Amino acid sequence: MHRATQTPVVLSLFVILFYVTLPAVGADGHPTIDLGQGWQQLFNGKDLTGWTARSNRGRPARRDSWVVENGAIARRGGAYLWSDAQFGDFILDLEFKVAPKTNSGIIIRHKPNPQSRKPYWWDGLLEVQVLDSADKAKPSMHDCGSLYDMVAPSKNTMKKPGKWNRMTITAKGSKIAVVMNGRKIVDVDLDDWTEANKNPDGTPNKYHRPMKDMSRRGHILLQEHGHPVWYRNIYIKPLD
C-alpha cells in the first residue's frame, strides 16, 4: 500500500524533471527565444557589434562589405561576415531572405588556417546552404537547407525570394540538425563521415579529410557569394 501511494508522486516528479531539461520549443518546431534562459542576441538590429568582415581565410576586409538596413544585415560584397566569438555546442536561430538567384550560406564552427594555400573548404566546411531554390521539387545537397555537399534536406521548405525564412541550427557534439520554416530537414551525425571525399551513402564530397574530424568549435560566418542576401533576428544559445 505504501509503495502504491508513492509511485504516482515519483513518476510525476520524473516527468517534470525530464521536461524541464528540454529546451523550450514552439509549436512550429523552432525554439522559444528567452534571454532569461541562456539565449544571447548575436545581432542587435542596429550595427555590426560582435561581427567583423573578413576574407574566407580570416584576413581583414572592407568594413562596408556588410551593412545594417531596416534592422537586417545586408551583404554589399567583398568579404564574409565573421562572428567575433567562437562557439562549440549551440542552438543558432535566425531569419534570412534571398533575391532571385541568390547563393549564400551559414558556416559554423569554422577554424581558418591562414597559412594554407589550399581553398578554405579543403579540409572540411560545415555550411548550411542558403540558396534561391524554392522551386525545387526534390532538393539536392547543394540546395537551401542542405549541409553543403554532404546531405540534402529531407524536404524543400524554402520560401520564394523576398520572403523571410526562419532557420534553427543545432550543433551538439557530432550531431547537427537543421529546422527550416517549421520542419526538421537535416539530422545527421558527423561521426558517420569516416572517409575523406565521401559521404556515408557513397556519394563524393569535396572535403579532403573525414568530416568526423572537423573542428567542434569555431566562428559563425555569413557567406559572401556575390549575391544579395539579408539576415536578421540572430540569436544563439550555447550548450557547453
Asked whether the predicted pLDDT for residue 144 surpasses 50, the reply is yes
pLDDT at 58: 87
Amino acid at 42: L
Those residues whose C-beta lies under 8 Å from the C-beta of residue 40, and which sit 6 or more positions away, are 235, 236, 237, 238
Asked whether the predicted pLDDT for residue 17 surpasses 70, the reply is no
Structural domain 38-238, CATH architecture = Sandwich (2.60)
Phi, psi dihedrals of residue 233, rounded to the nearest 5°: 50, 55
Asked whether the predicted pLDDT for residue 175 surpasses 70, the reply is yes
pLDDT at 13: 43
DSSP tag of 3: H
Number of residues written out for the chain: 240
Higher pLDDT, 71 or 26: 71
Asked whether the predicted pLDDT for residue 4 surpasses 80, the reply is no
pLDDT per residue over 203-217, tens digit each? 999 999 999 999 999
CA nearest to 146, candidates 172, 167, 124, 121:
167
pTM: 0.89
Q: Other CB atoms closer than 10 Å to residue 6's CB: what's the count?
A: 10
Phi, psi dihedrals of residue 14, rounded to the nearest 5°: -60, -45
71: phi > 0 → left, psi -120 to 50 → alpha, else beta; which?
left
3-class state of residue 152 by DSSP = coil
Q: Which cell numbers hold the place of 234? A: 540572430
Q: Which long-range contacts (CB under 8 A, 24 or more apart) does 204-213 make?
A: 205/149, 205/150, 206/121, 206/149, 207/121, 207/122, 207/123, 207/124, 207/125, 207/149, 208/118, 208/122, 208/123, 208/124, 209/123, 209/124, 211/124, 211/126, 211/150, 212/174, 213/124
Please list the residues that pair with 108 across neighbouring strands: 126
pLDDT at 27: 59
pLDDT per residue over 45-71, tens digit each? 999 999 999 988 888 898 899 999 999
